Chains A and B, each alone.
Chain A
Amino acid sequence: MSSEVGDGVEAPVAAGRGGREAAVSRPATRAGGGTLSLLASELRTLFRRRRTWALLGALALIPILIAVAVRLSGGPPTGRGPAFLDQITNNGFFVGVTAILVAIPLFLPLTIGVVAGDAIAGEASHGTLRYLLIAPAGRIRLLLVKYVAAAVFCAAATLTVVVVGTLIGWALFPIGPVTLLSGATVSVGDALLRFLAIAAYVTISLLGMSAIGLFLSTLTTVPVGAMAATAILAVVSQIMDALPQLEWLHPWLFTHYWLGFGDLMREPIVWDSFADNALLQSGYIVVFGALAVSRFLTKDVLS
C-alpha cells in the first residue's frame, strides 16, 4: 500500500456499526462527489468509448471529403452543389460552413441519436442501470447528467465538423478575409468567431432532439430502438417541414430552424433566428425532459 493510503482506506474493512456512524455523520454532499463529479465520470466514460470517437471521426470525414473532392476537381461550376460549395476554391474557410450544411440533415442527427438514444437504454441493456441506481445515483440526477453529457456531445460533434473543416480548408485552399452573404467583407479573426457562433447555433439546434432521444431512451431496454427512433423523428420532422400543406406546423418542428444560421453570416449579425431557435429548443427540452423524468421516476427497473 502506498503512503497516501490513510484512514479512508480502512473504512471499507471496518464494515458494520462503526461504518454507519461514519456514514451518517459525514456531510452528505460536500465530502462526496456531487453531481459535477458524476458528470465528470459520465463524460470520461463517454469519451473513453471507442464508439464515440468513431462517430466523431465519421463527422470529421465530411469536411475532409468535401475539401479533397473540390481540390482534386478544381471546384464545381458556380451555383451547383450545396450552398457555399463554389466559394471554397476562393476561400478555404468555406469548407467548414459547407460541411456543417451537409451534415445537418442526416449525419449530425444520426450521431446525436446514437448518443441520446443510448443514454438510459444502453445502461439498461448492460444491466449497469440497476447498479447506478442502487449506488444511489438518484433518478433525476442520473437523467440530468445523461442529458448534459448528450449536450456536450452535440457541441463536440458540431465543433468537430467546423474545426476540422476550417483546418483542412486552411491547408488546401487560399485563406483570406471572408465575404459575407450581405456583401460586406470581414477579417479572418471575425470570420472565425462567426464560425464558432454557427457551431453554437447548430449545437443549440440539436438540444431539443437530444431531449427527445433521452425520453425515448427511458422507454426501452433496447438502445438501437431508441437510437433509430430518434434519428427517424429528425428525418420525418424535416420532411414535414418541407411540405407546404403543413405550413401551420412548421414553426413548431424542432428541425425548423436547423438551417437558419445564415443570419450569422450577415453584417451586422441578425440574432432573430438564433433567439427563435433557442426558444423553440428550450420548449422541446422542457416538454421532453418532463416526459423523461415522469417516465423514469415511475419506471420499474427490471433489466
Chain B
Amino acid sequence: MPDLAIETHGLTKRFRSQLAVDGLDLAVPQGAVFGFLGPNGSGKTTTIRMLLGLVAATAGDARVLGSDMPRHVDAVLPRVGALVEGPAFSPYLSGEANLHRFDAADRRAPRRTRTARVAEALDRVGLSHAARKKVHAYSLGMKQRLGLANALLMPRELLVLDEPTNGLDPQGTREVRALIRSFAGDGTTVFVSSHLLAEVEQICSHVGVMSAGRLVTQGTLEEFRDEGETRVLVRTPDAVRAREVLTGLELGINIEPAGRGGREAAVSRPDATDDESVTARIGATPPEVIVAALVGAGVRVRGFETLHANLEQRFVELTGEGFDVVQ
C-alpha cells in the first residue's frame, strides 16, 4: 500500500503564456485531511483538474492512490469522489436523476444497488425531501449538497473537495465539517481546497499553501503553525535605543519599521503618551534573551509581548497582503 494518496513531482501546467502551476511537488499522506490553501488564481483548481485527469500536465507527473495519472484514469477515478469548482448538474433533471446519470457513467458502480445508493447519498446530505425536484429550483446550498452526495455515491478512498462549503449556511458548513471528520475517521483521505482558514484550522491534519502557481509550503498543521515567525512587541519610551539593541543582538532579528508592526503599532495609547512600540521578528531567539539585553542596555521596557503567528498571518506571510497578492 502506498503511503501517499497523492504525490506529484514537478507538476506544471502552462496555458499559452501563463504558468498556472509551476513545478508542484505535492505529498498528501494516506488518511490525512489535507487543506489545500491559496488565494484565488493561485493554481489550486488547475492542480485538482490535473490530479483528476481533466487537464493534461505540461510537465511533471502525478500519482493518485499509487497509480500514474492520467494514464490510469479509469482504474483510479472510481475510487475517488470529487467536487470540482462548484457543483454542476443538468438543470432540467431532478437531483435524483442527476445522481443516477453520474452513477451510470461509472462502469464499476453496480446498477443493482444504484437506486438504494442514490437514496442513501441524498439522505446523508439531507436532501431526501428535494430528491425529485428539478435542479434549477435548487438553491446554491442545495446544489452544493447534491455535489457532495455525488462524491459519496460509492465507497471512496480519496475525496477531493474544492471549496465544499461554498454557498452553505452556517448549519450546512457545520454538517460538511462533520461529514469530512467522519470520512477521515473511516480512513478516507480528504483533499480539501479552501480559502476559509478557520475551516481548514478546524478540520485539517495537513496543510499545503499555493501562491502564484507554486507550492510555498506543506506539512502537518503543527509544523505549519510552528514555521510561523514569532514576533515580539516592545513598548518603551526609548524606541531608538531599543532598535539599536535589537539590531546589535545579531540573532537573526529583523526589525520592522515603525508603523509596519500592524495593529499594535497603530494604536496610540493616551495613558502613555511617550511610549512607542517596536516590533521585531525574532526567529528562534528565546524572548527572555531579548528582554535581558534590552534591560541590560538601559531601555525602559514598559511592555513586552510575544506574538505567535496564527494561520491567517502565516497565510498572508506566504501569499502576500490584501490585493497585493503575488500574481
Contact = CB atoms under 8 A, between A and B. Distances in A.
A136 B111 contact: no
Given A8-B110, A301-B55, A16 B155 contact: yes
A23 to B, nearest CB: 6
Interface in A6-32: 6, 8-9, 11-20, 22-23, 26, 28-29, 31-32
Contact of B110 (A17, A19, A32, A126): A32
B105 A38 contact: yes
A11 B55 contact: no
B21 interface: no
Contact of A16 (B78, B109, B116, B187): B187
A301 B188 CA distance: 27
A69 interface: no
B269 interface: no
Contacts, number: 169
Q: Which of A8, A32, A51 has the most CB of B within 10 A?
A: A32
Interface in B88-114: 88-93, 97, 100-114
A15 B186 contact: yes
B89 A128 contact: yes
A80 interface: no
B52 interface: yes
B127 interface: no
B150 interface: yes
B161 interface: no
A300 B56 contact: yes
B108 A28 contact: yes
Q: Which of A12, A20, A300 has the most CB of B within 10 A?
A: A12
Given A12-B124, A50-B92, A136-B77, A130 B54 contact: yes
Q: What is the interface residue range for chain A against chain B?
A: 35 or more
Contacts of B84: 130-131, 134
Given A32-B111, A137-B105, A301-B49, 10 more contacts: A14-B155, A15-B186, A20-B155, A20-B157, A130-B52, A130-B84, A133-B53, A134-B80, A136-B73, A136-B77
B189 to A, nearest CB: 9
B117 interface: yes
13 contacts: A4-B116, A6-B116, A16-B187, A23-B155, A33-B111, A41-B101, A44-B97, A45-B97, A48-B92, A49-B92, A127-B85, A130-B84, A132-B101
Nearest to B120: A9
Q: Which of A23, A131, A134 has the most CB of B within 10 A?
A: A134
B93 A9 contact: no
A127 B162 CA distance: 14
A280 B119 CA distance: 47
Interface in B253-269: none
A33 B109 contact: yes
A262 interface: no
A218 to B, nearest CB: 14
Interface in A79-132: 126-128, 130-132
